[in-house]
Chain A
Amino acid sequence: MNIGAILTLASGQNESEASDSSGSKQFGWRSLGTIDVLGASLLQRTQRKLEHLGSLSPRVLTESNGPSQFLPSRSSRSTAFVEEWERAVAELVHGGADILILGRISAYTDIDYTELLQYHAASESLLTQAYAGKESLDVAVVSAKLLRSANGAGYRSTLSSAIPQQKRFCYSGYVNWLRNVQDLHTLMQDALYQRCGLQPVGREVSPGVWLGESVVLDPTVLMSYPVYIGARSRVGSGCRVASASSIERDCHIDCGTTVRDSLVLPQTYIGLGLELSRAVAGPKVLFHVDRNVEVNIRDARLIGRTSRSLPFLSSMASLITDRWSQ
């Protein structure tokens, strides 16, 4: 069976989903679905799951304005995104796909796509959507024969007509709706405490401590598990990483800083002697989870972006350390 997949993603400034009273679905103008959590983003993890299923490499469509739609309705305006979506569906249908998986990068779930496909096949449905309770998980399986009957009507029109007859796949596992930055922080901690299936990208060097490749840790660093430190990140002397924290790839935590109960996003520099607590920090931006406030940090000596030469510096640091230890 040939499986094709289309994933849609909202990125850039999104007025309809931008900050509301419970926080923003974006952080520093990035969609939460593209932000790394324990070494890979929701988008990357979904792509890998689908490829593991035997699907062709999923097409990723980005909607720059308004919420992304994984099933554009027949009444949707014909925007560049909708046209691109129609073209992507056409390519898959004409390319011989038997099944299409259409999804929107929004919530994190431990959904088993094999189970979903089996349900779709067993129910002999043309359209199956996954739900958690009454809420849609923004994942649908469509039989290509439904779309082949479109006959120039437009695929979104064909899909819209099939929605009333759709079958519902009821999912009862872990869901994190990723509606705001607090949800992202919660997902990180749920993963570290193994409350969901999200696996860190790296090696578990001791119980509850995962390290990515080429991490540079000063010998004086104190860590309290569970902790994740991403690839090529550097943690300086006298630092402390504690209470379910994640430092993503290519970061630099400078000397004497404490990271507690926090998520440090990729390529972030955290300055000397600072205290990061209950926060999500990115290059030049800091979000406090409990105060629900996002602060722009203008001084790169406090929180900034790591240098592009960091991988080279990390390699040199490792080389020097190895030479000294011989």
Chain B
Amino acid sequence: MKIITGNRLSDGRVVYFSAAGQWSVDMGSAQRLHDGETETVLAAAQSLVHEIADAYLMDADPVNPSDNAPKDDMVSQIKPAGRTHIRETIRAAGPTVRPDLGRQAKNP
């Protein structure tokens, strides 16, 4: 499964392309894409040039209930997968060396 992510143009914040055709800071709201539809949706996401600095596909997996993710975790419905899973987990949460910053912080 793939989702589309990018950085918001105005402030660079990490965002995900939702099924409603909008950019959201919530990874859980990202549109789940499968073979055959990725390029079309990516083109639609990239067409919003005044909203997004870049946009690309990333691998993701649904969160298995056995993963014990907290219910209010922002990646509770989807988690990064594949070779870039560390990078995308850090993008989603914030720097691992600064838990007070990024989405992982209670008051970022």
Partners in one complex: no
Q: Which residues of A contact B (CB under 8 A)?
A: none
Q: Which residues of B contact A (CB under 8 A)?
A: none
